Chain A
Amino acid sequence: MERVAIIGASMTQFGQREEWIRELLSEAGQACLEDAGVAPDAIEHLYVSNMASGEFEGQTGIPNALAHDLSAIPAYTARIDQTSSSGGAGVYAAWQSVASGASEMTMLVGGEKMTHRSTAEATDVIASLTHPVEYKHGVTLPSFAGLTARAYLETYDAPRESLGKVAVKNHRNGVDNPHAQFQKEVDLDTVLESPVVADPLRLYDFCPITDGSAALLFCPESVAREYADEYAVVSGIGGATDTHVVHERADPTTMGGVVNSSEQAYEMADMRPEDVDVAELHDMFTILEFLQSEDLGFFEKGEGWKAVEEGVTDRDGELPINTSGGLKSKGHPLGASGVAQVYEIYKQVVGEAGPRQVKAEAALACNVGGFGNCVTTTILEGQQ
């Protein structure tokens, strides 16, 4: 099987945007084609990662709309919905489409338009992924985070401040990301004194509601050389699920989907966790950075918080995590987030991350849907 390459990447400004979903997707798609120097009629498969354009905006059929707006007719199109991990699932689908030989040029565009809804409405759209026994009690994704954070702090005797330091670190990284929703630092006191959202978690433990889009272009490695001197290869990828009903998991502080998807990705890449130079994790809530950093094998169970305390995951640390600012600072337009995570690690492995650049030969992105319900882990390596 020929290796699959990524030859172009783009992302729009994340934040509160005037544009609607069709315009956001088109903006990212056009920029990606320009980045790679690929003509629209070269696109054979076009995937759109999106959770809820129908629910948020009343606009469905967006892959076909995008194909028309990009002049990519008659490309095969499909929408990939895997809730918050729609982007990662789209990366998996795009990789499959090229690896299988079905397409020699596949575009993936992820996007979501959310900010025209109130926080309560957006929270409810996202919470609609829950099981009826959860939904009727008013369980939301933030409340899962509060439940899990309390269990983690109690089980591993971790200080509350360690969660706040995730927010501080990722906001600091976001300052150097011109696409980030928040390009400002926050101090620990601000995090710890912000309003309670889901006890023990506070406002600054949560990512914002965001509009935005991101795009990637995939092709066989032999085709990549026609377009680019420097590109990335998907050296490992894996996808997995965990229980839909979150409380049925034996250990509330372990995400089985992260464990299983990363094992697949490491095996395919013939790598171990210590071979990863930089990672983008799904920090929709600060507690998720601890859980993923442990379940990916970077740190022992219950030790992830110490790595943050010791600066190991800082941009200049041994294993930089969320150099983009993460979902926490960059923003979380649901369907775009997994694509934007791979945008960041693509930029890192091809050496185009600007002030965020770290030494990176191999980089990993972990995109989580629901509360660990669905996960895709992707490993990229740069090629010159």
Chain B
Amino acid sequence: MNEDRELESDGGSDHVMEAYRYPDGSLTYPGHPLGPGGEEPTGTVDLSEYVAEVITWTTSTATPPGVRQPNTLAIVEFDVEGEPVRAIGQVTTEEIEIGDEVRPVYCQELREPGAGIREPASQEWDGFRFEPVE
């Protein structure tokens, strides 16, 4: 679908769901400074341009401070030109099943920063929810 971007590149969309690619061809989301075999990543892939399949899901009713209630979550798997890479995230609906096809949709604030224990400035709070593909 698209070629790998260079690390630290600021090209393309303002909102990217960035997976790292490593020398052995594998991908991870999120990226890590060192990947399989202790090798540094060679590039990134924007997963927001792909669709994924639901591996499993849950609806959590006992949510921590600053989190929507109920909170439906899914682990999904993307197929990036034959290379699988998984991600976790909120689902836009409670109507979801294993095997469903979903696409990432951008959300400016997934959880209220500062409502929980984590320091608001220590991480980002926007990201991508998963929406079933009709």
Contact = CB atoms under 8 A, between A and B. Distances in A.
A73 to B, nearest CB: 33
Contact of B55 (A131, A151, A199): A151
18 contacts: A120-B64, A128-B118, A132-B123, A133-B29, A133-B87, A136-B111, A136-B125, A136-B127, A137-B71, A137-B111, A142-B60, A146-B60, A147-B74, A149-B58, A150-B98, A151-B56, A199-B61, A252-B55
B132 interface: no
B58 A199 contact: yes
B67 A138 contact: yes
Contacts of B63: 120, 138, 140
Interface residues of A, number: 40
A137 B61 contact: no
Contact of B64 (A127, A151, A246): A127
Contacts of B111: 135-138
Contacts of B117: 55, 124-125, 128
Interface of A: 55, 119-121, 123-125, 127-128, 131-140, 142-143, 146-151, 154, 195-201, 245-248, 252
Contact of B56 (A55, A154, A248): A154
A131 to B, nearest CB: 7
B42 interface: no
B100 to A, nearest CB: 13
Contacts of A245: 28, 30
Contacts of B66: 138
B73 A147 contact: yes
A124 B116 contact: yes
Interface string B72-86: 011100000000001
A137 B90 contact: yes
A125 to B, nearest CB: 6
Contacts of B73: 137-139, 143, 147
A136 B29 CA distance: 14
Contacts of A133: 29-30, 87-88, 127
A317 B103 CA distance: 48
A273 B68 CA distance: 43
